[in-house]
Chains A and B, each alone.
Chain A
């Protein structure tokens, strides 16, 4: 019996034990937690390290390429420098030659300039004298031209008066002529009226004659339709036709 009670007590105790319990403070759990954190950190560090290594490798390759490019460019630069030195020597020689030529030309040109300047001064002086003489001549000519102009103006005024008088007489003659023309024109108009009147009369006579011819033609046709009177009627038209003529 006691064993049974003991067994029940054990079962009871085990039943009351909480499941499984928050075991955060247990050393094992601490280790697990640290392990998890370190694992994640390590994972990150490793991957980042890999990427940085790869990046570094790419940069190294790029640097090596750039170095070889620098070397190539240095060689090119050295060649160019050498060429530059030679060119510079040649250019210096040429420069010196040109400088000498320049100096020579400058000396020559200086004397030429001085000569030309003297000539220029002489020309200036001559030109000034020429101008002053021409000016005086122009003054004289101007005075004579003025005098001539005044005499011609006076002549022109006299001529003008003369022509005006002549024009007035011509105008008067013209007015008389026009009066004559007007009277002749009136007589002409009168004659024209008479002509028109006579033409009208001629037209009326012509119309009367046409009318009579028409009547005569109608009478001849009626006579031809009558057999008895045929002969007589055949003679009349001929006399009629003669009249018309």
Chain B
């Protein structure tokens, strides 16, 4: 009876039971998802609260995001990085205001990128506390463990999505964090494998990679990891492949790589989710002023206004007042300031360190914050001339002062000599990465802002328009060359032993040294080299060589190649022989020709032996010639000629020629030790005397050679 009565109801109920789930399942099978995406927001808040709803670019984006959520269903909002830096207000708040922004406007996660690292890892951790927005990065590790959330899992329309963040290695960690916390990047491949293994234990339907890597690297990762359903890149990557920007690349496996190539707005990514993820569209939306009554927006604006008021109050703090004139500040000027303050020969800054601008006669804290965009500590370190030349050649993105890549302080860069550099940690890290070696450094623990503020409060060097005075600073070099040998032969065997052919008959003790130190004091115009030189070989009580020489050499740096010089040289003996200590004085002046491998000197002057015995002064000219050539990496050939020809004069001995010729080949054992074979030839001739004095000598020795700058 009941059945008959309810037949129509039962028919309708059965139809509903069958048809509704089928239609729902069909819809679920191919569901359209909508993601909101942003990248490179850079914390670009205005610093003033006046009319901010209509003028602040970040608020205009926020209004558009709110309106977008009201217009359509948004399944997820992701930020692809570089959200926190270099906006002034964001920097002032150490990223706090930007974190509030992302959190208040419903951002699910933001990828940590190179600019974000400038906020500092510990500060990022601090501002993240209590926020819903996740900071994503799987490849930033502290002692092997991820510093930030490596991935997030979201269930959307009954499907489970894993979003994995891979940061680019374009960023650099603050040295303090590197030293204290051992923070470093690991390879993206390794990080991804770790995470994929970890999430394989959970039931994940789709893996979406959020990446700051280059397009090529992303494609490689997708190729190696087939479980990645979709890659969304942005932040540090511009989407360039083969010099062309591509916002979307579809792989033959049906997977896609989408890249946010523009920072002027936000993107709407539409996806169809079925067996795989299919990208329907990626649309760039231009934000526009759209008044909103959204309560989250109002709350955020209230907090933002307080930040702006605080910044305005603190920013008004005066650093310098009543300067003589406005100062044009740029990277080059600040680099020169660093040279001045750190007494460095060269200063290097990355080109984004300073935002060029004009400082008024009253400088405030906000002016400095506006202009300075690099808060890394400043390092001083030394590089060889060869490395310096290489950096100068590949100086893209760097501002170098103190050298043009050929000369430093007016003198050609010497490949083997070390130069003192001053740079921000960022540049130091880049140089270290470039040369692939640990470069000893000294951390000043001071930033560009500290230096500029100190200077403005003190000497105000930064007001100068000409920094040539830096090249007038005197520097001191010391080059030490030590060449020593020791030979001890002890003969035993009674009073009259049989002596084998070629063996010494008597015990002897022979040692010798040829040492010199060049102490050079120079600036861009003047160079004075004082060289004490000793050549002393002794066998038992017999002096085979007994020369002690002191040379004072002055050069006026008129031209890189041709320079006038003055030389004063005193020769004497190390140990008096027969109670005598002869002293020979030679003073010359002339022209020096310097090239990269060959130096020549031609001068006029006089020689005079001043004691034991005193001899008349004789005028003459000298020719000095030096050549150095690296035959192979470790072999160096050296030629040296030092000659003086004295002209016959009243009371003198007549024409005389003395020449000292050295040919040497050195094999470098390391940076300061070498094994060398040298042939020394000394020729002395008085043209009136047919008997010429000649001394030919072959020496094999272990040489120690080093050079350093005292300051």
| Residue B93 CB within 8 A of the other chain | yes
* Complex contact B122–A37 (CB within 8 A): yes
How far is the CB of B300 from the nearest CB of chain A, in Å? Answer: 11
Q: How far is the CA of A23 from the CA of B439 in the complex (A)?
A: 11
Q: Tell me which of A48-56, A74-82, A158-166, A199-207 binds B.
A: A48-56
* Complex contact B310–A55 (CB within 8 A): no
Nearest residue (CB) in A for B92 is A47
Nearest residue (CB) in B for A44 is B94
Q: How far is the CA of A18 from the CA of B303 in the complex (A)?
A: 52
Q: How far is the CA of A216 from the CA of B363 in the complex (A)?
A: 142
* Complex contact A34–B707 (CB within 8 A): no
Q: Tell whether A44 pairs with B96 under 8 Å between CB atoms, given A11-B517, A15-B706.
A: yes
* Complex contact A54–B179 (CB within 8 A): no
Contacting A24 at CB < 8 Å: which of B179, B382, B480, B706? B179
Residues facing A in B63-100 (CB within 8 A) are 92-94, 96
How far is the CB of A233 from the nearest CB of chain B, in Å? Answer: 124
| Residue A8 CB within 8 A of the other chain | yes
Interface size in chain A (residues, C-beta < 8 A): 35
Q: Tell me which of A25-33, A91-99, A122-130, A142-150 binds B.
A: A25-33
B106-134 contact mask (Cβ, 8 Å, vs A): 1 or 0: 00000000000000101100110000000
How far is the CB of B710 from the nearest CB of chain A, in Å? Answer: 10
How far is the CB of A159 from the nearest CB of chain B, in Å? Answer: 73
* Complex contact B310–A30 (CB within 8 A): no
| Residue B445 CB within 8 A of the other chain | yes
Q: Tell whether A47 pairs with B94 under 8 Å between CB atoms, given A11-B478, A19-B382, A23-B442.
A: yes
Per DSSP, are chain B's interface residues mostly helix, strand or loop, or mixed?
Answer: mixed
Nearest residue (CB) in B for A47 is B93
Q: How far is the CA of A21 from the CA of B482 in the complex (A)?
A: 25
Q: Tell whether A40 pairs with B94 under 8 Å between CB atoms, given A15-B707, A24-B179.
A: yes
Q: How far is the CA of A178 from the CA of B245 in the complex (A)?
A: 115
Q: Tell whether A44 pairs with B126 under 8 Å between CB atoms, given A15-B478, A15-B706, A29-B179.
A: yes
Q: Tell me which of B50-58, B170-178, B586-594 binds A.
A: B170-178
Q: Tell whether A32 pairs with B482 under 8 Å between CB atoms, given A21-B440, A22-B438.
A: no
| Residue B524 CB within 8 A of the other chain | no
Q: Tell whether A51 pairs with B306 under 8 Å between CB atoms, given A8-B482, A30-B179, A37-B180.
A: yes
* Complex contact B122–A41 (CB within 8 A): yes
Residues facing A in B434-461 (CB within 8 A) are 438, 440-443, 445
Nearest residue (CB) in A for B313 is A50
Q: How far is the CA of A58 from the CA of B299 in the complex (A)?
A: 12
Instruction: Tell me which residues across on chain B come within 8 A of A44, comparing CB atoms.
Output: 93-94, 96, 123, 126-127
| Residue A168 CB within 8 A of the other chain | no
Q: How far is the CA of A36 from the CA of B375 in the complex (A)?
A: 11
Contacting B440 at CB < 8 Å: which of A16, A22, A58? A22
Q: How far is the CA of A201 from the CA of B672 in the complex (A)?
A: 169
| Residue A180 CB within 8 A of the other chain | no
| Residue A12 CB within 8 A of the other chain | yes
| Residue A229 CB within 8 A of the other chain | no
Contacting B126 at CB < 8 Å: which of A18, A32, A41, A55? A41
How far is the CB of B108 from the nearest CB of chain A, in Å? Answer: 23
Q: Which residues of A line the B interface, CB within 8 A?
A: 1, 4-5, 8, 11-12, 15-16, 18-24, 29-30, 32-37, 40-41, 43-45, 47-48, 50-51, 54-55, 58
Q: Which residues of B line the A interface, CB within 8 A?
A: 92-94, 96, 120, 122-123, 126-127, 174-177, 179-180, 302-303, 306-307, 309-310, 377, 380-382, 418, 438, 440-443, 445, 478, 480, 482, 513, 515, 517, 534, 574-575, 672, 704, 706-708
A-B contact pairs, 19 of them (CB 8 A): A11-B478, A12-B480, A15-B707, A15-B708, A16-B706, A18-B440, A19-B382, A19-B440, A32-B445, A33-B180, A34-B180, A35-B445, A36-B176, A37-B122, A44-B126, A50-B310, A51-B307, A51-B310, A54-B306
The list of the 10 closest CB pairs from A to B, nearest first, reads A44-B94, A33-B176, A15-B706, A36-B176, A20-B442, A33-B179, A54-B306, A32-B445, A24-B179, A21-B440
